[in-house]
Amino acid sequence: MINMSGVDLNLLISLDTLLEELNVTKAAVRLEISQPALSAQLQRLRKMFGNPLLLPSETGRGMIPTARALEMQAELRELLKGLQTLVRREPAFDPATAQRTFAIATSDNAVLSLGLPLIARVAAQAGPGVQLTLRNVVSSRIAAELSDGTVDLLIGSERAVPDTMRGRPLLPDGFVMAQRKRHPRGPDPLDMDIYCALDHALVSTSGGSLHGYLDEQLARLGRRRKVLLSVQHFTLMPAILLATDYVCTLPRQLAARFSDQLDLFELPFEVQGFTLSAAWHPRNHVDPASLWLRGQLLEVAEEAIETGKRAAIGIPAKRLA
């Protein structure tokens, strides 16, 4: 470890100016300090280096450097230039040459909606030094993982964004009911009685629960549906629906990807949707690498919104085919 105790970098700047001017008064003017203050700094410099450094000129005008001062002058100037470059250099991130691994916490629903096109964009624009790792969101740990740097970016429902993190909305979404094509129920629109009587499967990302967000909404209306199956991953549900007569209420963006295999229906009651959002630790807010990744994600979200708008044209109000 470098030990800089007792070293005042401001003194080195003063020494550089003194060696250039060889005059305390002129050097003090350039440094915008008083002559007595600079004289006091010179005394500290002499003590620090164990050398007089500057001596009064025999002519009585200005000062002359000692051999030690002349020996260190060029090295001191290069050192200060390097420090100036370090402080003033604008940080940059070049995805083509950078070495960076981004850890993203997300759900499989968000992966299908935003993660896949994000992966494609990164693969197309970044070099082999830029890597992505995706992991499941664990609500109880996500704030700590963002804080300690285990996770760089969260992509999920706005309800998953910790209050202590920076964030922004990406993609609004809602819910539709899905059933396999040629389901015994047929293609008729839903009403509340039919919806509640069907055999439902649901996705519980935390695992194991047979009671979800939609059940809370129904309870407020004094209704209850029949839930017979719970799985932890959204991507399992289309295969389950194709193999059974279960129905499932899914995020609209995800369900639309399987509309060639599933019939999709508007719900028979009002339910608040959600917004897929991004969240990150405040320390990464202006980090160039993080800014680049979030910029790619934002463009992906904007493209998804436009695609959704185009797909919505001409969709029937009750059944989404």
d(CA 150, CA 121): 23
Give pTM, 2 decimals. 0.68
d(CA 153, CA 293): 9
pLDDT score at 69: 87
pLDDT score at 10: 82
User: Which residue ranges make up each domain of the chain?
Assistant: 9-88, 100-172+275-312, 175-272
d(CA 65, CA 181): 92
pLDDT score at 167: 93
Q: What are phi and psi of 210, to 5 degrees?
A: -105, 15
Residues 6+ apart with CB under 8 A from 25: 35
Half-sphere exposure of 31 (CA within 13 A, CB side): 26
pLDDT score at 1: 45
Q: Could you report the average pLDDT of every consecutive run of 10 residues in the chain (321 residues)? A: 58 89 90 89 89 85 88 87 71 89 94 94 96 92 94 93 93 95 94 96 87 93 96 94 97 92 96 94 92 96 81 45 41
For residue 233, the cross-strand partners are none
pLDDT score at 86: 66
> Is-same-fold flag (100-172+275-312; 175-272)?
yes
Domain topology for 100-172+275-312: D-Maltodextrin-Binding Protein; domain 2 (3.40.190)
d(CA 230, CA 17): 74
pLDDT score at 143: 94
**CA angle, 238 then 141 then 237, to 5°:** 5
d(CA 267, CA 192): 8
Question: Is domain 9-88 given the CATH code 1.10.10.10 in the classification?
Answer: yes
pLDDT score at 230: 95
| Rounded (10°) angle between helices 9-21 and 67-88 | 120
pLDDT score at 317: 39
Q: What are phi and psi of 168, to 5 degrees?
A: -155, 145
Classify burial at 287, counting beta carbons within 10 Å of its beta carbon; exposed 0-12, middle 13-18, buried 19 or more. Answer: middle
Phi-psi category of residue 182: left, alpha or beta, with phi > 0 → left and psi -120 to 50 → alpha = left
User: The domain 175-272 belongs to what CATH superfamily?
Assistant: Periplasmic binding protein-like II (3.40.190.10)
